[in-house]
Structure 1
Amino acid sequence: MKRWRGKGLIAGLSVAMLVGLTAACSGNNEDTAASSSGAASESATSETSAEASAGLKYPASLTYWVPMETDAAVTIKDYNEMGLYKELEKRTGTHVEFQHPPAGEAQTKDQFNLMMATGKLPDAIYTNWASNAPDKAIKDGKIIRLNELIDQYAPNLAQILKDKPNIRKLITTDEGNIYAFPLIGTDPPVYAYNGLMIRKDWLDKLNLAVPTTIDEWEKALMAFRDGDPNGNGKKDEIPYFYRQTDVESSYPFIGAYGIAPGFFQENGTVKYGPTEPAYKDYLTLMNKWYSEGLIDKDYLTSDTKIRDNKVLSDQLGALAGWAGSGLGGYMQLKKDKDPSFKLVGTPFPSLKPGEKAISKGTAVITGLGTAISASVKNPEEIAAWLDYGYGKDGSLLYNFGVEGESYKLVDGKPQYTDLILHNPKNLSVSQALSTYALQTSGGPFASDPEADRQWHSDPEQSEAMAVWADADHSKDLPGSLLSADEQAKFASIMTDLNTYNSEMTNKFIMGQEPLSKFDDYVKTLKQLGIEEAIKLNQGAYDRFTSK
């Protein structure tokens, strides 16, 4: 389970944001400025974990429900075998009985829902609480409000919330409840994990620069189609891999038109991208590209395995994806077989040169976090144990793992060892690191930008993330929560609406419906309740801005 960087479960700040594909707040310089000292900077004014926790008692044992990191599952059976938790048990004396749900997002959600329905809860639960009605869970006696516990028994996190009031704002519901010990990240360049990438070696062969505008992209894709850049004489190249069901590949070009594929805000007014006139312009572009063979004709039946095969067999010129598992993974697999193979990240394209397209923002708080069950008898001890990851010692442990094994100190700074970066068993960096730490996934700690930089160690990855982060995030929706009742209303609207929107978007792109029917399509969206959904999100947005 990856965190916001995205291989697997991707949590959002609100249900609206999950649907709208817009991410967390971007307007507070205090909390989105890059940090050179990593997670330690989150607690720079606090003491070390051992000092801050002096006098606090840790539990002898606890039960902990947490989806297992997919890369970790390659090498370990449960988190008790992870270097982090083996070392944490030595330091705190706490033995953890982990409860890992079956792999797969649907199976994980089903087990979570069953667990909450039956009330048979472990002591601690890690999930996307932002989309699971935390206020209702507190009212129903399933989990506990954490405000007072954090102030009294979690000095490291309490200090972060004091130093960074916007983080407290983001993890506090409209009813004033802090519901989980959150995963925290505050360095924008690090958290722009997803974006467009293109075959730089193909561009070079065709004497083209990396495209930055829609017109330049169209020119490049046409050249990929006609210029035989893979040199096999078959003209079997697919210029761009598009999957409308896949947020990775569907959103990058929409931002050029000043809208998002879902919910966003403009000057304080919440809007829904597909009902905006500019969405017709976007569909017109995609229809043109599809009809001219610049998009895979079989995109509706394509999946990630097909995509990967096309990339690795030199049939695909451009796509959108993740810096680590996508760009980095492809480069790693091809480096020995084809040294000339090169993927690079590209800016989100604009309509005019020099403009910045709007894009998803950078996540500070994603809604992922660990809650404490209301049935526990020692919540203060569990709070103290969960707090460990926010202090200096805990930051090293959660981000880097075990000193002398997964990292070493060089001039006083942690650095991953060759066991992680050049694993002798040929594990990928994320697989090797997941055996020792939670940096590649998530947990109750503050993510260290330096750890993330080292994890995405290839220069192509770091350069791509910097390029992707350099976009206009001014229209992002901040991390407000819909209430339980609002979530129910919203979900009932969006279930059918999303299905209709997806079907019609595909029909417009593939020419099965003429774009002259766009107004009728918008009218149907309104009949399905999009205006009420916008109203719900407007209320949540207004409440957030007034906190």
Structure 2
Amino acid sequence: MRKKTVARMMSAVITGSMIISLAACGSSSAPAAESAPVESAAASTEAETTEETTNAEPLEFSYYGPIWKPYQESTPIFDELMKRTNTTIDFEWVSNDALETQLASKVASGDLPDVISGGTSAAPGIQDLIKQGVIVPITDYLEKDMPNYVRFLEGNDYLTLTNYEDGEIYGFGLVMDVPPAFSTAIRTDWLEKLNLEMPKTWEDWVTVWKAFAKEDANGNGDPNDEVPFAVSHQFFKFVLNMFGMQSNGEFSVVDGEYLYDPENPNYEKFLDSMRELYAEGILPKEFVTLEGADFNTLGASNTLGSYVGYAEYSKNYTISCRELDEDAFYQCVIPIPGPDGAQNIPARAKVSSTTYITVKALQEGKLERILQFFDYVYSDEGIELTNYGIEGTNFEMVDNKPTLVPPYNESFAVARENGLIPSTIPFCFTEDVYMQILMGGVTYDELEDSGQTFIDGMTINEPYYYDEPPVIQTEAYADHFDLLEQQVALRDKYIMGQISKDDYNSGYEKLKQGGLNNVIEQSKEAYQKISAQ
């Protein structure tokens, strides 16, 4: 560790006067949908698990983090993990709703745990905790104490993990090395009903959407209730993808530059095309509020013709719509090509920063041992334990391969309830176990067509994946986040025809002069800084 960093961390005094405001920093830790995980670690360069890891002196540390259903506070998997590593962990589990306020209280009172976790996302107020010296940088420990973890990291992963202000890495978390998560899907039964071919070009898609809008595609007697195309408002980047922007929802990397999407030369064509589609009745009338449960309600209502979203939705919506139309079928297809032929869809992020070591662990001499414990979780032995469980109980070896046995391969909920794939701690989620549970112990040919289309959505998009650039939360980004939201509102008003192009341009210019320019420039500089390291 750099000498200045050591001095800063060791001099940090945790007292009741250290009250950090966390109210503005929320965290949603429970996963919204099943996530696609990493390829078997056996395919990676193997890092040896040392005897020091499993036969070291006893280690005890405290762990503070959220828990949600169906996870259990104590499982045989956790017990076995602690037994193998000669470790005792004092888990303090809290609900997602209580995570933020209780963490703020613990920091204010000086009652720090050794480890803080945000679950599947960053812990609330983590930037404040870093600035106060509560969280320890681990950059200089990674190669020595976490070689099993480091073997998974590549160039872009370091950008995701690096803190923009000082170039340090403070956290680690879930590792997933398989891109599938999202896909495009279309009602092929509607295509057949209207004698339409599967669309291949942008013009083809627009023709199909217009037909869905004008004809009674769902056959319920109402030609006006169909929604030809939709994306969840929070995932509007899926539409930007069609216009050549490989966006994280706000920024893209273009020729090595971190570019705010509205500054992209293709953005105007995106705006005008979406305005035309909205005027034609192709987009949902209230697309600005279409998220989460409302989007799922639309998908299950037998009125949605096509979407871009989680591949899993193709299965769920097909099953739900068949209660209204026995022929309903959402077929997953490759990404929609834009007017210029661009076809992109974001890959699932491989790494995330969710788990942090506090200054308390450093002061008590536990830092390196704690990192070594988690490194065991990322070892081949640890990966087998956290993904497949205990041999003879959760899995059997079949053709020299761990194979889950019922009921652990029947659903993600059952697996998680019994301690497998424990997202409440950082671990490596393998593609193999994901597919075993996804397939439910049967082959592709044995699946219902609703299950097959889900699998298709997880396998057909590989040539079109891109890695999203990191979200860089600079000081200006935090101070002027409301301006980013105002730009989205301005965009939506233009798409819905509520304002003219001149009104949009003048409104956008006012936002830039009001502080948005600072966000844009600081983000560019921060990206260049961390990219150069």
Change (3 A) 1:40 1:177: farther
Query: 1:222 is aligned with what amino acid?
Result: K
Question: Take 2:101 and 2:310, find their aligned partners in 1: how far apart are those partners?
Answer: 27
Q: Is 2:174–2:423's contact at 8 Å kept on the other side of the alignment?
A: no
Structure 2 matches for 1:174-253, cutoff 5 A? 175=166, 177-186=168-177, 190-235=178-223, 236-244=225-233, 246-247=234-235, 250-253=236-239
Q: Among 278, 288, 292, which residue is 1:304 paired with? A: 292
SS at match of 2:464: coil
CA-CA distance at 1:267 after TM superposition: 0.9
1:164-217 CA deviation, whole Å, 9 max, x = no partner? 67756754446453323332233xxx3231243222322233333443433222
Corresponding residue for residue 47 of structure 2: 46
TM-score by length of 2: 0.79
- Give ranges in structure 2 of 5+ residues lacking alignment: 1-26, 440-450
SS at match of 1:185: coil
Structure 2 matches for 1:13-32, cutoff 5 A? none
Change (3 A) 1:338 1:391: farther
Change (3 A) 1:180 1:58: farther
Question: Take 1:519 and 1:334, find their aligned partners in 2: how far apart are those partners?
Answer: 42
State whether structure 2 residue 148 is matched by structure 1 residue 156.
yes
State whether structure 2 residue 135 is matched by structure 1 residue 143.
yes
Corresponding residue for residue 25 of structure 1: none
Corresponding residue for residue 125 of structure 1: 116
Question: Take 1:489 and 1:66, find their aligned partners in 2: how far apart are those partners?
Answer: 29
Query: 2:350 is aligned with what amino acid?
Result: V
Query: 1:121 is aligned with what amino acid?
Result: L
Q: Is 1:123–1:375's contact at 8 Å kept on the other side of the alignment?
A: yes
CA-CA distance at 1:413 after TM superposition: 1.4
State whether structure 2 residue 376 is matched by structure 1 residue 394.
no
CA-CA distance at 1:395 after TM superposition: 0.4
State whether structure 2 residue 431 is matched by structure 1 residue 449.
yes
Q: Is 2:260–2:520's contact at 8 Å kept on the other side of the alignment?
A: yes
Change (3 A) 1:384 1:45: same
Structure 2 matches for 1:49-448, cutoff 5 A? 49=49, 51=51, 53-60=53-60, 62-69=61-68, 73-74=69-70, 76=71, 78-81=72-75, 83-103=76-96, 108-127=99-118, 128-129=121-122, 137-138=129-130, 140-147=132-139, 149-157=141-149, 171-173=161-163, 175=166, 177-186=168-177, 190-235=178-223, 236-244=225-233, 246-247=234-235, 250-259=236-245, 260=247, 261-324=249-312, 326-331=313-318, 340-352=327-339, 355-368=341-354, 370-376=355-361, 377=364, 378-422=366-410, 429-437=411-419, 439=421, 441=423, 443-448=425-430
Bigger relative contact order (CA 8 A; separation at least 6): 1
CA-CA distance at 1:113 after TM superposition: 4.7
1:386-420 CA deviation, whole Å, 9 max, x = no partner? 22211111101222333344433221212333313
Corresponding residue for residue 493 of structure 2: 507
Larger radius of gyration: 2
**Identity value in percent:** 24
CA-CA distance at 1:3 after TM superposition: 8.1
Q: Is 2:138–2:169's contact at 8 Å kept on the other side of the alignment?
A: yes
Corresponding residue for residue 16 of structure 2: none
Corresponding residue for residue 455 of structure 2: 462
TM-score by length of 1: 0.77
Q: Is 1:64–1:99's contact at 8 Å kept on the other side of the alignment?
A: yes
CA-CA distance at 1:541 after TM superposition: 1.7
CA-CA distance at 1:536 after TM superposition: 1.3
1:130-185 CA deviation, whole Å, 9 max, x = no partner? 99556x74563312233455455445335656xx6775675444645332333223
Question: Take 2:172 and 2:347, find their aligned partners in 1: how far apart are those partners?
Answer: 22
1:98-126 CA deviation, whole Å, 9 max, x = no partner? 3333335xx54454455445543222112
